[in-house]
Structure 1
Amino acid sequence: MLDRYFARFEIFCGLEQSLQELQNRLRYEFVYGASDASFIADLSSFTDIILVSNSLDISFSDEEKGCMLAMKKPLFVYFNIGNPILCQAREEFYPASASELLIGSYQHVVDEDHRLIFQPLIGHRFLGCWMRIERQWHADWRNVWKDAFDHANPDVMCRELKEALMIEALYPLSLASVRPGDSVKRVPTIGAIAIALADALREQPGSLLRRVWAAGFSLSPSYIFEACFGINLHDFPFEALALESRIANGTVRIIGSTDSARSELGARKHLSIAGLSVEKLNRSLRRPKT
């Protein structure tokens, strides 16, 4: 990981070309790929997309709340556990037209009984889940998990993010050493995936999307080294530069603030502070089998 930080200038030199190529490939996928055309059209009908991180202490000023309340048709996008602490105050900044979407890796989105951890706000439209099914879990998803999810979450739509699209189109070639002599290709974080998808949606023909907002996207050292599991598997130097570039050129706007001096917590502690006694499926999968 440190070598990528030291290679910051090298990453920067090819950054804009990488981001443009990424946007082109995603737009091509939306039009000519196997993506659900009606779903893509639905996403493109929102005027604002607000990407909400799982930062523990994200907060909005009265002015920022007023900005969101005035949005014509906003879509609030949450990740994995869906920031349960912030969600307790959603009514303070949701206009009546607000909708919600959850994006995440399946084993981080549900509990061990396959129930959705995120709780949609009653009275607002929930578009369902856009999930990444990791390659190692494809058979479990097809044979068991999909039916278990449908049974545990009736009427919740679940769509799959294409693994090949995410890994090949969303990231530059960057390898991580998992053990001596064994390397794997780094994969994007869910936040990076969401930003890239929103960026491409805005450029869709006929899209009504005008602004993409990032709430709580600090990529602080505490988030990377304390809250994230398997940090070597993500290319955080590339993601940080990509976010900085998008903020600088105005394609992504920052909303909300966080306390950079405060330690970020992993999902388990975050859920506990929010008063939720729940265990992610991921944790039970990591538990030694007896």
Structure 2
Amino acid sequence: MLSEIAFAAGCFWGVEKNFEQIPGVVDAVSGYTGGSYDNPSYRQVLDHRNDTSGLSQLLEKNGWKDEPKESEKITNHTEAVKVLYDSKLVSTEYLVKNFWELHDPTQVNGQGNDIGNNYRSAIYWTNDDQKKIVLETHDEYQKLLTQKGFGKIVTELEPLGKFWSAESYHQDYLAKNPNGYCPNHKTGVKFADKGMIKEKLSETYNEHLKDVILQPLDGKEIVVIESDSYCPYCIAFKEKVLKEYRGSIPVRSVFAHNIKGYKLKTPTFATPTILFIENGVEKLGFQGYLAPNEFYQALEKFKLNS
């Protein structure tokens, strides 16, 4: 089962790199969330980093109240990473505990020298099970921190609202720039047990495709070559693309060895492989995962080149 949860722990470059290396994490996307304005850009989030709306709300809870300035009416977004994961491979508990250990959750509006509300610590859940784990591990980690002389956790704990993906140059930044800035702000305080994580699954996937033999349709179709074993990118493609697809061109899935009578150019050993076909002849082919925008760009090209 795939689930999503978002974490904010300072600069999102390092947070993204940390989570995408965990087995069972299908995708990690840097972006912005937790704010009160739409379509944030990196520049906007940076410009609002010293706005004090969050501080004003905190003071008001404690009996202090003053007329807010115009800038204080804005709640800024924080740099966050939305994590898509397979709970058969990695538990929510493991990911959340990894988050607590990854940074200093007692620092207000920042991590180390990265100062501003855009670097604030936060977890944004998407279901009640995640919320329960977040709150329980918060209390558990607070006890561990207190024992080591740290202060109170100030992490924002909320359900995930609208999440805006960051600009393309921020995605996989440290993979593209291995010498990039990636500070370590861990407290060094660790849980005794972080929860379940597996390297791989032994179960067979896509049992329903085992006996499916695919032969060409008349006209256009999209064929997705899938795997009979665990394939996180196949799962991500189904969840992020096919689940929302409502087009008129039919989409069918098959194992590579069960596709018959087609004239193909693209090798089918990789999964997923996405093939755009007309009357049994491949017009476009892609090995590997296609993001939604990439899929629809290819689909448009396929339609225009008929």
Scaled by the length of structure 1, the TM-score of the pair is 0.26
Q: Tell me: higher relative CO, structure 1 or 2? Use CA pairs within 8 A at least 6 residues apart.
A: 1
Structure with the higher strand share, 1 or 2: 2
Structure with the higher helix share, 1 or 2: 1
Larger radius of gyration: 2
